[in-house]
Structure 1
Amino acid sequence: MMILSLCLIISLSNTILGIASPARHLCHPYQKDALLEFKNEFHYNVMAGKTESWRNNTDCCSWKGISCDPMTGNVVELDLQDSFLNGPLRSNSSLFRLQHLRTLDLGLNNLTGILPASISNLKYLRILTLYSCNLFGKIPSSLGNLSYLTDLDLSVNDFNGELPGSVGSLNRLTELRLVSANISGNFPPALLNLSELTWIDLRSNNLSKLVYFEISGNSFSGSVPPSLFMIPTLVDLDLGRNDFTGPLEIGNISSSPSRLRVLYLGENNFNGPVPRSLSKLVSLVSLDLSFWNTRKGKVDFSIFLHLKSLKLLHLSNMNTKNMVDLSLLSHLMSLGDLDLSGINLKIDPTLNLPSPIKFLALSSCGIAEFPKFIQSQTRLIYLDISANQIGGQVPAWLWKLPVLWYVNVSQNSFNGFEGSEDVIQKSAKVMLDISSNTFQNPFPLLPASLMHFSCSDNRFSGEISREICKLVYLDTLVLSNNNFNGSIPRCFENFSTTLSVLNLRNNSISGVFPEESIGVYLRSLDVGHNKISGELPKSLINCSRLEFLNVEDNMFSDKFPFWLRSLPNLQILVLRSNKFHGKIFSLIFPKLRIFDISRNLFTGVLPSDYFAGWSAMSSDVGIVDSTPVRILGRGSGFYHSLTNLQSLDLSQNRLSGEIPPELGKLTFLARMNFSYNMLEGPIPQGTQIQSQNSSSFAENPGLCGFPLEKTCGGKEEEATKQEEDEDEEKEEKDQVLSWISAAIGYVPGVLGGLTIGHILYSYKYGWFLRIFHCFT
């Protein structure tokens, strides 16, 4: 019995250890058969390469060039690079039965033949390398079905025809190598739609008709290869608004004159000197080098004098320290669009630019006088001379320019307009920005055709001028940060059918907001920091396009505007610092991102499901301005629709009841304020909530629990006991697991010791042979 018991114990121990040890045989039989069949599809020379180790009586997961998933046993990688494979890759090859392949490398083999369309059967492929395989024919369009593909290398083959447009469907592709692949025809524009592509190599092909290369507004980085400028057929090259860096090298283009007509390099991170070889691009019509970092070096503007065909020249914010004489550009007779903003300019009063300028931007150029050469620019449409040092009055001749519709003279020291009423009001201006100047009463005459008018941050006072009401085409009106008082003119109803943006912020406007002034096309309304009283105008319910509503710091006295829930596009709602009162109803705001109702007189219990349905709170948003705390959403995924709530302010109301415990699970809730209410009960347990300062919960006599000093008595003790019970239960589980772990290590040791002891003891009495038979 002792011998039998010992055999049983040893056998059981071996079984346990066998279960714990990793499986020795992973390979599925059908995958082994497929691999062996694939091996036999080719002819081999004397050196059979990696497949020489493939034997039917061994585990295929141990073969050279094979990798398996340790969990499933599936073959996931096949690397037979340079393995002396000779023969075509058949359309019915057993290779395509390996459905779980993620990596396939058959490079440097002699696969003379076409690439079969059935390659798409390997639908989980991430990496496909067929480098130097002597493949020919057309690249199959079925490649576009490999939706998981991240790396594709078909270099050094003898394909013919174009790269199929279906490659544009590989939206996970990061690297594409087609060096010396004999690709011909037009450059495949579908490649420009691959947003994950970080590496593309098309060297030494027959792409003969690359005319347009436009990748603006992406996140491409690194340096720009000089060879890009050497493509003889290239006409339009737009690399603007990316993250390209380093000094730019254009290369030697004298041997093959460039046909390049459009070159956009602006809004990148290029640095160093502007390359002088730009002057050789004599066919250029449009050139944008804006935001070029010259490292405060000097720019040789004579480079541009050779570009006689230029119609557009944008050099804004080039970070150059030298002053530029604008007369240098007087030789560019075709120039129609000029942006030199951010460059320190010298403008001679007698300067004459003979070119027909249509768009002119000279913002932040250190100009002290209104440039007189503009007077002769009768084709001028767009003028921006903002952020300079120009004072006095806007000259009368400006109103006489026949097609000028956009005028921005903001951030200067203008104090009025020259010109008669007849000339100004008949002027065909559409957009006028005179903000941040020193304008004061009387309010200036305005062109009757204005659609956008901004006069914020000036010195206007008194009641809002009724002259504004004559602007019947008005779409945007900004009168913020002045000293206007009195009520909102009822004549604002004149443009209630056109107005989309109304900003009266930070004045001293009082009275009731007139219902008739609210138009159905309103998208943004900001009347914050005034003295407006009464109720929120109910006519807002008709503004289905309303996105922004801010009435903070006024004297509105009204119930919570629950009817705003009918506005499908509302994103920002700020009611703070008024006299709104009553209960807060549960609402659904599908697009709301910012919600501030603090410092009012709201009462009642805040429902625990109050924020359910506010799905837009999961989007990335930022703090719009410096006004205190908002409700902000960030990221994706949320608990009860709102686990990424970042800031919450419900302070200084009359809210009662308990703080919803769900708020303790909002992991991104960085700041909150429940102070000065009538809340009661325990503060929800949660890392974010309990990291707040006690002032966030102050002046709520019924609140208890950390971070307040007041304990919660029974409820808190009950919660503490529950936590202790949970900890005790966890500790017991940990002890059980520890005991099992110890047993696993201890039992084999004890059994081994007992076994050896019995063997030694039994050897003396002739029992050794019996134990030996037990083992064998």
Structure 2
Amino acid sequence: MSSLHITLSFLLLLIFNLQDLSAAPSRHLCHPEQRDALLEFKKEFEIQKTHPDDYCYSEFLGSSVSPHPKTVSWTNNSDCCHWEGIKCDAKSGKVIKLDLSCSGLHGRLHSNTSLFRLQNIRFLDLSQNNLHGQIPSSVGKLSHLTCLHLFQNQLLGQILSSLGNLSHLTSLHLSNNQFSGHIPSSIGNISHLTSLSLSNNNFTSHIPSSIGHLSGLTSLDLSFNQFSSQIPSSIGNLSQLTSLELSHNNFTGQIPFSVGDLSHLTSLDFSQNQFSCQIPSSIGKLSHLSSFSLSTNQFSGQIPSSIGNLSNLTSLSLSDNLFSSQVPSSFGNLSQLTSLDLSKNNFTGKIPFSIGKLSQLTSLSLIDNRFSGQIPSSIGNLSGLTYLGLSRNSFVGEIPSSFGSLNQLSMFFVSLNKLSDDNSFVGSIPSSLFTIPSLTNIDFSNNNLNGTLEFGDGNTSSPSTLQELLLGNNNLRELSLRSGSRLVNLQNLNISNNEINGQVPRWLWTLPYLRYVDLSNNGFIGFERSAKHGLMSALSNLFGSNNSFRKDSFFHMRVPVSKHSRFVIQQLQWFNSSLHGKSQE
């Protein structure tokens, strides 16, 4: 009895599975009218040939991929639900997804395109092709659409108000096209929208206040357009927003105070606009913000101290504005900051000592301001710093010796370029700077640095990575280095307009990559004689005017004269020195 029961159960299970398998093909079989619509849609476009250099970006893979004509697999005698780029509903068999991104399509979307016969479609991606013309108004009839991606094509015209009928849409990406006109107010009807990208087009006018109705929006990108006027205060209603990109437009006025209500915001970019007035203190409420840029605008006044509340901030750029007054000491609270750019403003006073607390900082630019006083030695605590720009200010005093501890530093600039408010650094350059293993560029020109230029310990075995050393217009008196082995990678050297006397050291001409040398306006009298080395073949620009060279000095440089020599000096300026006759030629 028990054995019979088990046998019957097994037979019933087998019959059920066989029925399921026999039903599967019919359940997933593409509807003939859907297949015909797709084949007609395929014929509406040419397939462009791809080149080896062509590529597209795959959001799924997060990397670049080569274009691939997906419609090649579309044939009349096969199930369209198995065609590449197609997905059908498991129960109804109707097409719900069409992904022909990066498929080499060339042509236009016609108003009577067969695409609109796929009334159940939810996902439509025709991005990264060569589609041109306007979007047909009939697209508003695809009422089940949740995703519409048409970015990176050649589409133009205005966004039609009929897009507002797509009430189920969650993602709308139309960036990198040639759309123009204004955003229709009906955009506010797409209440389920979470991602909206209209960047890199030619949109004008203002942002409609109805955009504040999109309460579920998490990402909004309107960058690289020609939007103008002020940002509507209704933007503060987008309480789920994490990314807001409005850069490279013509927005004016002030940032709405309501922006401070976007409590989930992690990225905010208002750069390259015409915003003015002060930063609202409400910005300090954006506790999740990690990237913040207001560069290249007309902001003025003080920076609110509330910015110090942005404890998750990693990148802050306020460059190229009209900010004045002092930098608030609360900046020292931005413990996660890796990049700080305050260049090209009117900041005054001293750099706050608290800036030395920014232990994660890798890039610090304070160039072109009105900072004064001494540079705080606490900057020497920023052990991860790779870029330090302090040029064109009114600093005084010495360069802190603690800077020799910046072991990751690769670029260090404190030049002034003869501005009216010159820096006034005095004292000698810390020799420890030249032992920093990663340093490639130094510009200390236009200061009052004096004393001997020491390139660190001459016995140090590892060569310096230094490629550019600009020390012109100072009061330096001597070069101190026994061997050029430490500067083997040097390419550009400017020590003009100093007080260096004596002979040009022989090791200078042993540097294999040296291309540019300016020795002018010093007190050099000749060149140390070298029996082994002449000028290196890389040298192409040599300046030595206004020195006290003797007549035979130039010959001691041992310039190769063979017709097979690779050595060519493109610019040689020796005028107003003591050279005469053949030596000057």
Native 8 Å contact 1:524 1:548 kept in 2: yes
Code of the residue aligned with 1:656 in structure 2: it is F
Q: Deviations over 1:500-519 (max 9, x none)?
A: 43221111222222222443
* Alignment of 1:414 onto 2:287: no
2:472 alignment counterpart:
576
1:604 alignment counterpart:
504
Code of the residue aligned with 1:484 in structure 2: it is F
Code of the residue aligned with 1:455 in structure 2: it is L
2:411 paired residue among 524, 534, 542: 524
Deviation at 1:415, TM superposition (A): 0.6
Code of the residue aligned with 2:317 in structure 1: it is D
2:84 paired residue among 209, 219, 238: 209
1:398 alignment counterpart:
283
1:7-86 correspondence to structure 2 within 5 Å: none
* Alignment of 1:586 onto 2:484: yes
Secondary structure of 1:534's counterpart equals: coil
Q: Are the structure 2 counterparts of residues 555 and 283 from structure 1 closer, same or farther at C-alpha, using a change threshold of 3 Å?
A: farther
Native 8 Å contact 1:449 1:473 kept in 2: no
* Alignment of 1:476 onto 2:363: yes
* Alignment of 1:357 onto 2:237: no
1:185-584 correspondence to structure 2 within 5 Å: 203=72, 208-210=83-85, 224=106, 239=128, 247=132, 261=147, 263=149, 265=151, 270=154, 272-273=156-157, 279=163, 285-290=170-175, 292-294=177-179, 297-301=180-184, 309-320=192-203, 322-341=204-223, 342=225, 343-349=227-233, 353-363=237-247, 364-410=249-295, 411-418=297-304, 425-428=308-311, 430=313, 431-447=315-331, 448-450=333-335, 451=337, 452-493=339-380, 495-517=381-403, 518-529=405-416, 530-540=423-433, 543-556=436-449, 557-559=451-453, 561=455, 566=462, 570-578=466-474, 579=476, 581-582=478-479
Code of the residue aligned with 2:484 in structure 1: it is S
Q: Deviations over 1:649-692 (max 9, x none)?
A: 454453637998766787xx5x6534345352397779995775
1:675 alignment counterpart:
545
Which runs of no fewer than 5 residues in structure 2 stay unpaired? 1-49, 55-60, 76-81, 87-98, 417-422
Secondary structure of 2:510's counterpart equals: coil
Deviation at 1:526, TM superposition (A): 1.8
Q: Are the structure 2 counterparts of residues 324 and 574 from structure 1 closer, same or farther at C-alpha, using a change threshold of 3 Å?
A: same
Q: Deviations over 1:569-609 (max 9, x none)?
A: 54544333332633674347687665544445374255586
Q: Are the structure 2 counterparts of residues 274 and 519 from structure 1 closer, same or farther at C-alpha, using a change threshold of 3 Å?
A: same
Native 8 Å contact 2:140 2:166 kept in 1: no
Native 8 Å contact 2:367 2:392 kept in 1: yes
Q: Write the distance in 1 (CA, Å) between the matches of 2:391 and 2:308.
A: 27
TM-score by length of 2: 0.63
Deviation at 1:520, TM superposition (A): 2.6
Q: Are the structure 2 counterparts of residues 455 and 381 from structure 1 closer, same or farther at C-alpha, using a change threshold of 3 Å?
A: same
Code of the residue aligned with 1:395 in structure 2: it is P
Secondary structure of 1:435's counterpart equals: coil
Higher relative contact order (CA 8 A, sep 6+): 2
Which structure: greater strand fraction?
A: 2
Q: Are the structure 2 counterparts of residues 236 and 378 from structure 1 closer, same or farther at C-alpha, using a change threshold of 3 Å?
A: same
Larger radius of gyration: 1
Deviation at 1:333, TM superposition (A): 3.5
1:698 alignment counterpart:
575
Q: Write the distance in 2 (CA, Å) between the matches of 1:265 and 1:593.
A: 45
Secondary structure of 1:699's counterpart equals: coil
Deviation at 1:225, TM superposition (A): 5.3
Deviation at 1:254, TM superposition (A): 9.1
Q: Deviations over 1:61-100 (max 9, x none)?
A: xxxxxxxxxxxxxxxxxxxxxxxxxxxxxxxxxxxxxxxx
Question: What fraction of aligned residue pairs are identical, expressed as a percent?
Answer: 22
1:656 alignment counterpart:
527
Q: Write the distance in 2 (CA, Å) between the matches of 1:287 and 1:553.
A: 53
Secondary structure of 1:544's counterpart equals: coil
Native 8 Å contact 2:135 2:155 kept in 1: no
Q: Are the structure 2 counterparts of residues 527 and 571 from structure 1 closer, same or farther at C-alpha, using a change threshold of 3 Å?
A: same
Q: Deviations over 1:221-271 (max 9, x none)?
A: x985569x97999876764xxxx87846778979999988474735x8x47
Q: Write the distance in 2 (CA, Å) between the matches of 1:224 and 1:568.
A: 54
Q: Write the distance in 2 (CA, Å) between the matches of 1:357 and 1:414.
A: 27
Native 8 Å contact 2:233 2:257 kept in 1: yes
Native 8 Å contact 1:598 1:652 kept in 2: yes
Q: Write the distance in 2 (CA, Å) between the matches of 1:475 and 1:340.
A: 30
2:41 alignment counterpart:
none
Q: Deviations over 1:113-164 (max 9, x none)?
A: xxxxxxxxxxxxxxxxxxxxxxxxxxxxxxxxxxxxxxxxxxxxxxxxxxxx
Native 8 Å contact 2:268 2:291 kept in 1: yes
Q: Write the distance in 1 (CA, Å) between the matches of 2:352 and 2:467.
A: 31
Native 8 Å contact 2:236 2:262 kept in 1: no
Q: Are the structure 2 counterparts of residues 380 and 673 from structure 1 closer, same or farther at C-alpha, using a change threshold of 3 Å?
A: same
Native 8 Å contact 1:225 1:249 kept in 2: no
Q: Deviations over 1:535-557 (max 9, x none)?
A: 33233356434344322222333
Which runs of no fewer than 5 residues in structure 1 stay unpaired? 1-170, 176-188, 615-630, 632-644, 712-776
| Count of aligned pairs | 466
Secondary structure of 1:324's counterpart equals: coil
Deviation at 1:381, TM superposition (A): 1.9
Native 8 Å contact 2:319 2:345 kept in 1: yes
Native 8 Å contact 2:218 2:241 kept in 1: yes
After superposition, the CA RMSD in angstroms is: 5.0
Q: Are the structure 2 counterparts of residues 259 and 471 from structure 1 closer, same or farther at C-alpha, using a change threshold of 3 Å?
A: same
Code of the residue aligned with 2:282 in structure 1: it is W
Deviation at 1:277, TM superposition (A): 11
Native 8 Å contact 2:185 2:208 kept in 1: no
Q: Are the structure 2 counterparts of residues 299 and 418 from structure 1 closer, same or farther at C-alpha, using a change threshold of 3 Å?
A: closer
Deviation at 1:358, TM superposition (A): 1.3
1:48 alignment counterpart:
none
